[in-house]
Structure 1
Amino acid sequence: MNIEFLFAKVLKSLRIKNKLNQEELAFRSNLDRTYISMLERGFHQPTLTTIFALAKALDIKPSDMIKLVEFEYIDEDKGE
């Protein structure tokens, strides 16, 4: 799986954990709802600015968000 899909998995998981729909996450991060949808489906790669905006809206450090993606990457690499 590529990084876009790993980020998508983490983003959707964090959004659901925070009990937000895509529209609310878009509003809180000042992004378009369709862009959130594309990120969650792995069709787009987020910019650094986008990662910071999403992290703030999800009440998580941007570095922790990236760490979650990294953990997914490592787990996948191990075949888990």
Structure 2
Amino acid sequence: MSAPLKGPDPKAKLVSLRDVLAYNVRATRVEKSLSQEKLGFTAGLDRTFVSQVERARINVSVDNIERLAAALEVDPARLLERP
């Protein structure tokens, strides 16, 4: 049995665009009831990469933002909008 999906902290300080991307990827993934593994598989990316994106640990290329957006079925610009 897998653990319930937990969304991002709504009180999180979104200082950088990387923080905004992290927040939006996680929020959208949880909203669509996807695990990091399922999102990674659908986007053709490793689960650990998705985890690093959601924790704002890495600088993500535009190509990978596009892949994540396609897997989440949202416009790439949506992942970069401040909530």
TM-score range, shorter chain: 0.7 to 0.9
Q: Displaced runs of 4+ in structure 1, greater than 4 A?
A: none
TM-score, normalisation: structure 2: 0.76
Q: How many residues align?
A: 69
1:33 counterpart residue number: 47
1:4 counterpart residue number: 18
TM-score, normalisation: structure 1: 0.79
- Superposed CA RMSD in Å reads 1.1
Which range is displaced more, 22-31 or 2-11? 2-11
Give % identity: 29
More helix by share: 1
1:78 counterpart residue number: none
Structure 2's unaligned 5+ residue stretches are 1-14
Structure 1's unaligned 5+ residue stretches are 73-80
Partners of 1:45 and 1:15 in 2: CA distance: 19
1:20, distance to aligned residue in structure 2 (A):
0.1
